[in-house]
Copies of this chain bind each other. A is one copy, B any other.
Amino acid sequence: MRVLIVGIDGYLGWPLAQHLAERGHEVGGLDAFLRREWVDEVGGTSAIPISDFVDRRGRFRERWGKEMFFREANLVDWEVTSETIQTFQPDALVHLGECPSAPFSMIDVHHCNLVHTNNVIGTLNILHALRDFAPDCHLIKLGTMGEYGTPKMPIPEGFAEFEYRGYRDHLPFPRQAGSWYHWSKVHDSNNVMFACRVWGLRSTDIMQGVVYGTRIDAMGEDPRSWTRLDFDQCFGTAINRFCCQTLIGEPMTLFGRGYQKRGFLPLRDSIQCMTLVVENPPEPGHYRVFNQFEEAYTIAELAERVRRVAIRLGLTPKIRHIENPRIEAEEHFYEPEHQGLLDLGYQPTRDMESEIATMLRDLEPNVDRVMSFKNTLVPDIRWRGGRDRCSFVD
């Protein structure tokens, strides 16, 4: 299949490109390298050193014997976005081109508006371009489990049969996001659902959990094939940040009580699931939602797992609680359903500890990099507004 990966230079995009190429798909890409720019802006860096995209394309050419189709383009630019889709004529478009950071969107009005513009206008441009130039293409859009928030009931995959005053209807499950970033993803989910309804586009909207890990098999040992791993307060996610903290002897920091529960999955599972979705498109006009994660854990459980693995590797992990910069429930019901991908054939890795061990080993040569950027590990972006470094509370 011809697969266009929007955001091909990112944490998920680059491994996905390699995995799909390995499986014989014709991979094309689009990126404006904004993730690199944003991580720079917040003072972070990738713990794993990553090549520039010219070298990545060189690696791709060497390994799979062909030039990769690529456009450097900002999604908010209609002309280039639509030209890319018209020219490449994808069978599937994987949209990883959204700004993925909740804290980044909460910095101030400018970042909130930037995230909204990048995500919402970018997605609207993709939808219009698909309608005009590739109406049969399957759009795989990355949403987030965070769109749902933490309702006091199980979370279905996108839709539920509800009853109200004796009437019943099959309705979109209400969203209760927890940051401007998460809301921008809700807006995008709604817009994609609408485009499928009025224009007959087909889409899979993936409500993904938090991804962790450094590796998939298709990468091998060439450094040009490695993917980024962020650990700053904006772009670093829980397990990745815990591993970096542990590696440099800093405590893993739990926000508040640490009983917040979320869905998690290793990088290899995320790539496996997206590939299954690419290879199993829905019918034209169908808008399909999958909750994509392996298992739900509390943040405290995750830190405990990192601690266990780190001890086995001879490290001296610590866990501490800090003020919660977010406004969120710190202990809550959480039972999201996730059957759709299993039905498509998803085989969960189910070995978080060996993933964590791999990650710690991959990070080990980069201790100095992490150490020089350790200031970005402790959050100071507050949900209520303003910046104020969080203190330890234990």
Contacts and interface: CB of A to CB of B under 8 A. Distances in A.
B171 A176 contact: yes
Contact of A383 (B113, B160, B174, B198): B198
A113 B124 contact: yes
* Copies of this chain, tallied across the complex: 2
A88 B299 CA distance: 45
A160 B160 CA distance: 14
A108 to B, nearest CB: 8
A240 B189 CA distance: 34
Given A174-B173, A199-B385, A162 B162 contact: yes
Nearest to A382: B198
Contacts of A164: 153-154, 156, 160, 162
Contacts of A320: none
A177 B194 contact: yes
A171 B171 contact: no
Interface string A233-244: 000000000000
A47 interface: no
A78 interface: yes
Contacts of A152: 167-169
A312 interface: no
A223 interface: no
Contacts of A199: 384-385
Interface string A149-161: 0011110100010
A384 B194 CA distance: 11
B327 A198 contact: yes
Given A109-B78, A153-B167, A153-B169, A385 B131 contact: yes
A357 interface: no
A116 interface: yes
A99 to B, nearest CB: 15
A112 interface: yes
Nearest to A151: B169
A117 interface: yes
A191 B162 CA distance: 24
A173 to B, nearest CB: 7
Contacts of A125: 109, 113
A165 B128 CA distance: 38
Interface of A: 78, 82, 108-110, 112-113, 116-117, 120-121, 124-125, 128-129, 131-132, 151-154, 156, 160, 162-165, 167-169, 171-177, 180, 183, 186-187, 190-191, 194, 197-199, 327, 333, 383-385
10 contacts: A78-B113, A109-B125, A112-B124, A113-B121, A116-B121, A120-B120, A177-B190, A180-B191, A183-B187, A186-B190
Given A124-B180, A162-B162, A187-B190, 19 more contacts: A82-B109, A108-B128, A109-B124, A112-B124, A112-B128, A120-B187, A152-B167, A152-B169, A153-B162, A153-B169, A162-B164, A163-B163, A172-B174, A172-B176, A173-B174, A183-B191, A187-B187, A197-B327, A198-B384
